[in-house]
Amino acid sequence: MSDPPTLVVADASPLIALSRVGHLEILRVVYREIWVPPEVAREAFTVRAQVPPDWVKQRLPAAIPPRVAAAGLDDGEAQAIALAVEMHAALLLIDERAGRAVAQQMAVPIAGTAAVLARAKVRGAIPSVRPVLDALLAEGFRMSHAVYERALRLAGE
């Protein structure tokens, strides 16, 4: 598989989901470093009494594009999309459907938690995707059957 994207921004959902199942480190292994806006860091780490790892870098976007502001997203999603646009990110990690749609309208490449896991398996960071997907579902992570199956296919399982 090719080298990881050079600049990756994340919304809170992938960080929270992977942290809950003990696999946050996958992001460092697959992407080296992740950029997040302060609101995402707060949602993903501070409110959970965790300190962000040193490979999670923070930056506040200079502005929220009008199309993003008008979409009615939560502050973390809006800031993550704005940061991805501003930094010309190679990838935005985001799970929420509304946020994904807005990011796509802004021509920001996206991937969700399931796709991150498939990439991790292909890169040899985890031996299997299925147990991690099952753990996410057991923690209440919402994922369609189609997304679950697509992640397994991408991972070769």
Ranges of each domain in the chain: 8-113
Tell me what the mean pLDDT of segment 13-26 comes to.
94
What does the pLDDT read at residue 4? 60
Q: What pLDDT shows up at residue 3?
A: 58
Question: In this structure, are residues 18 and 140 in contact, taking their beta carbons and an 8 Å threshold?
Answer: no
pLDDT grade for 2, boundaries at 50, 70 and 90: low
What is the per-residue pLDDT across 69-126, written as a single tens digit (0 to 9) for each?
999 999 999 999 999 999 999 999 999 999 999 999 999 999 999 999 999 999 899 9
- What integer is the mean pLDDT of 32-54? 87
In this predicted structure, what is the pLDDT of residue 47?
63
Return the exposure string of 26-56: e unless at least 16 CB atoms fall within 10 Å of the residue's CB, then b.
bbebbbeebbbbbbbbbbbbeeeeeebeeeb
Task: Specify the pLDDT at position 119.
Answer: 92
**Which pLDDT belongs to residue 105?**
95
Write down the pLDDT at residue 6: 75
The CATH number, out of the four listed (3.40.50.10420, 3.40.50.1010, 3.20.20.70, 3.40.140.10), of the domain defined by the range 8-113: 3.40.50.1010
pLDDT over 60 (residue 37): yes
Question: Roughly how many angstroms between the first and final C-alpha of the chain, as a whole number?
Answer: 16
Give percent of the chain with pLDDT exceeding 90. Answer: 88
